[in-house]
Structure 1
Amino acid sequence: MRTDWITTPLTADLLRGALDLERTVHGLLPHRLPARARAQNTDPQLEMAESQPSGVRLAFRSRATAVELDTLPTKRAYAGAPPRPDGVYELLVDGAPASRTTVTGGHTVTVDMSTGKTGLRPGEPGTARFTGLPEHAKDIEIWLPHNEITELVALRTDAPVEPLPDRGRPVWLHHGSSISHGSDAAGPTTTWPALASRLAGVDLVNLGLGGSALLDPFTARALRDTPADLVSVKLGINVVNQDLMRLRAFTPAVHGFLDTVREGHPDVPLLVVSPVLCPMHEETPGPTAYDFAALAEGRLGFRATGDPAQTAEGKLTLAVIRAELARIVDQRAADDPRLHYLDGRTLYGESDAADLPLPDGLHPDAAAHRRMGERFARLAFGPEGPFGRGAR
């Protein structure tokens, strides 16, 4: 059956959750860090993570019953490891999940974990198709894959579209590690921050940056300069993963990070979240390394390589970081009553590790993401929570 397609230019007013949009030869590339921050970065891991559109979605209103979105994905593969599934595009209609699909093809970056070398295999754009939508006027959101760089090439519908009106929902700005980014979640709307935002009825801006929650000043400035009604920062695991600093440097770095965020958000509720349980790093410092024995068995795994005795010299473990974050927040809250602390183990703790162990030793699986999102919605956005309606 013939469809009379309407092609709508891809513009900023059709996108939510991105801090910057880059025009490319193919179309539009959403970024989750602004150009100024990207110019100050030299880390390929962060360059990749901020270009993966976790929490970024097209949002428009239309009577369309069919939607096509052409994209050019950049997928990631690991030499010797099982193939990664294609990234998922999820369609919401009037806020409710309605459909999901994938886009095959695109570029592929292959990483050799033993050497760190990468190789690029170029590919062609593909199309995410959604059909059978209800005919009435409705809010439509297409959540982009949280774990694939996604260049937007063209948007086609069988009815005109207009930008989604402002529904007056609070904006929740969140920063964290790969867990907040959505590693191993089932799809972009079920990363734990995305799920929590839908349960709480807020608009998410997700600056969860895989491997890159490292107290970088340019990230703090991005948080500072992004309009928000609620702000949370989940800190700690990546600092341990990279063995980036000792306690002497960590404490003033956290203070400086929070100082910068408060420059732009002096009065909003600000929640500091410590790491969820990660058994291998609770008492053992980093750095974290690939588990090549696991790789030989065809699965991805990680291991802690630090010496627990070195905590006496200031090396960081998750136990040390939780205690210090709690102390810092308690100290600052005397002059900042809208600053709050949440122990990450209330989202994923010992009983959860027994029930839903971390498959690779580091990242929660899809079921754990759902559990964490539901718990955060209750603990943070509930009536007594720091983001509850009475606190806004």
Structure 2
Amino acid sequence: MSAGPAPDRAWITTPVDAGLLRGHLELERTALGVLPHRLPARARRQCPDPNLALMQAQPSGVRLVFRTAATAVELDVLPTKTAYRGGPTRPDGVYDLLVDGRLADRATVSGGNLHTIDMATWSATTTPGPAGTARFARLPAGVKDIEIWLPQTEITEVIALRTDAPVEAAPGPGRRVWLHHGSSISHGSTAESPTGTWPALAAARAGVELINLGFGGNALLDPFVARAMRDTPADLISVKIGINLANTDLMRLRAFGPAVHGFLDTLRDGHPTVPLLVVSPVLCPLQEETPGPIVPDYSDGTLSFRATGDPADPGRLRLRVIREELSRITAERAEEDPNLHYLDGRLLYGEADFAELPLPDALHPDPAGHRRIGERFAERAFAPGGPFAAPTDT
């Protein structure tokens, strides 16, 4: 829909700044408004890879949070949508509006820029497009806390926030902050909406404040990501490691162990005693025994993936080997670090889950799979006795 206020109301415009946004690490001022980033500029400068630049700018877990008595809300945005050459058209991203923590409305914004990627060469072109407006009406009367979760797979430049009643910053959440890093599954590339990603679902169940550093295709043990996490205040930290290292064929077994140690060392430099959970990959038959790189496959008219590595090469990473190494490394480190924990990803999504909820493209879960992973993670991590269990009064 086109940008601009609906004409039938007296609107109040509130500037969008860091006081209204959560879930990002840095906010960039632009000619139109503000652009949330999930990595700081220093980290972005250390890796000019355009795919990482795209993924960290897609605001998975980023939301506007404010208190108001408004019954109508409008958000002007300039989205940048992503398309893959030769692939199916992707639906417009979803804006989830929550009232006092409960989903109350959804909206989409058509138009915007279109970023088209050729997955064969990873070249890309961007076609400019118009800004638009996400509109929410018929909200319940009375003062309430509102969250607007931005689409997890669309870069979203926030231009203006309008309401039919004054807005004030919501009070601090007063909840533990959970900082999570992972791959496209954590990013939520195939979730139905931003509150439907498995980290968002787990955070809602556990009542914690989420900072989601899931970067599609880019959970690669990058030192600059570890430093960004080191410098981010958090009460709980998890890192989901492995699948991107296998499907990019980025490193061999010799480099993997030291890279894991280095990443964890950096996290501990800033968070020496915070509960830290290392999560290995969920089940993915495509790469359990076959290394990458993976390539897209449109042979049946839909997007799927296949692995092209040599299963006979013992030095190349595949998921079974990654899980064995992560289990060993965390067990050894836990002897001196009692707040370090390990979770086998197959406990979140395993063989029985694959039989019931197969991976549609051989790599990513569908929305039901996200719900299952989120529920399982909440049960394993946040329940009493889990590594993220809430402290009890003594």
Whether the TM-score (by the shorter chain) exceeds 0.5 is yes
The secondary structure found in structure 1 opposite 2:362 is: coil
Report the AA paired with residue 354 of structure 1: A
* Aligned twin of 1:102: 108
* Aligned twin of 1:383: 384
* Aligned twin of 2:325: 324
* Aligned twin of 1:345: 346
* Aligned twin of 1:85: 91
* Aligned twin of 1:239: 245
Q: Distance in 2 between matches of 1:254 and 1:79?
A: 35
Stretches of structure 1 lacking an aligned partner (at least 5 in a row): none
* Aligned twin of 1:6: 12
Is 1:301 aligned to residue 304 of structure 2?
yes
Matches within 5 A, 1:1-392: 2-291=8-297, 295-311=298-314, 314-390=315-391
Q: Distance in 2 between matches of 1:380 and 1:137?
A: 34
Once the two structures are TM-superposed, the CA of residue 79 in structure 1 deviates from its matched residue by 1.8
Q: Distance in 2 between matches of 1:183 and 1:372?
A: 14
Q: Distance in 2 between matches of 1:218 and 1:84?
A: 31
Q: Distance in 2 between matches of 1:391 and 1:252?
A: 36
Q: Distance in 2 between matches of 1:253 and 1:223?
A: 16
Once the two structures are TM-superposed, the CA of residue 42 in structure 1 deviates from its matched residue by 1.8
Is the CA contact (8 Å cut-off) linking 1:231 and 1:271 kept in structure 2?
yes
Is the CA contact (8 Å cut-off) linking 2:79 and 2:154 kept in structure 1?
yes
Q: Distance in 1 between matches of 2:86 and 2:40?
A: 35
Once the two structures are TM-superposed, the CA of residue 391 in structure 1 deviates from its matched residue by 8.2
RMSD over aligned CA atoms reads 1.1
Deviations along 1:163-201, whole A, 9 cap, x unmatched? 110131100000000000001101000100000000000
Identity %: 68
The secondary structure found in structure 1 opposite 2:274 is: coil
Q: Distance in 2 between matches of 1:330 and 1:176?
A: 21
Q: Distance in 2 between matches of 1:320 and 1:122?
A: 44
Q: Distance in 2 between matches of 1:372 and 1:155?
A: 33
Once the two structures are TM-superposed, the CA of residue 120 in structure 1 deviates from its matched residue by 1.5
The secondary structure found in structure 2 opposite 1:82 is: coil
Once the two structures are TM-superposed, the CA of residue 82 in structure 1 deviates from its matched residue by 1.1
The verdict on how the C-alpha distance between 1:114 and 1:246 changes in structure 2, with shifts beyond 3 A counting, is closer
The secondary structure found in structure 1 opposite 2:216 is: coil
Q: Distance in 2 between matches of 1:120 and 1:258?
A: 37
Q: Distance in 1 between matches of 2:122 and 2:263?
A: 30
Q: Distance in 2 between matches of 1:283 and 1:123?
A: 44
TM-score where L is the length of structure 2 = 0.97
Report the AA paired with residue 286 of structure 1: G
Query: Segments of 4+ in structure 1 off by > 3 A?
Result: none
Report the AA paired with residue 362 of structure 1: L
The secondary structure found in structure 2 opposite 1:389 is: coil
The verdict on how the C-alpha distance between 1:58 and 1:121 changes in structure 2, with shifts beyond 3 A counting, is same
Is the CA contact (8 Å cut-off) linking 1:33 and 1:219 kept in structure 2?
yes
Q: Distance in 1 between matches of 2:124 and 2:228?
A: 29
- Which deviates the most, 382-391 or 202-211? 382-391
Report the AA paired with residue 184 of structure 1: T
- Which deviates the most, 162-171 or 52-61? 162-171
Q: Distance in 1 between matches of 2:111 and 2:189?
A: 21
The secondary structure found in structure 2 opposite 1:323 is: helix
The secondary structure found in structure 2 opposite 1:240 is: helix
Is the CA contact (8 Å cut-off) linking 1:80 and 1:298 kept in structure 2?
no
Deviations along 1:111-146, whole A, 9 cap, x unmatched? 223333322211010000001111111000000000
Is the CA contact (8 Å cut-off) linking 2:173 and 2:209 kept in structure 1?
no
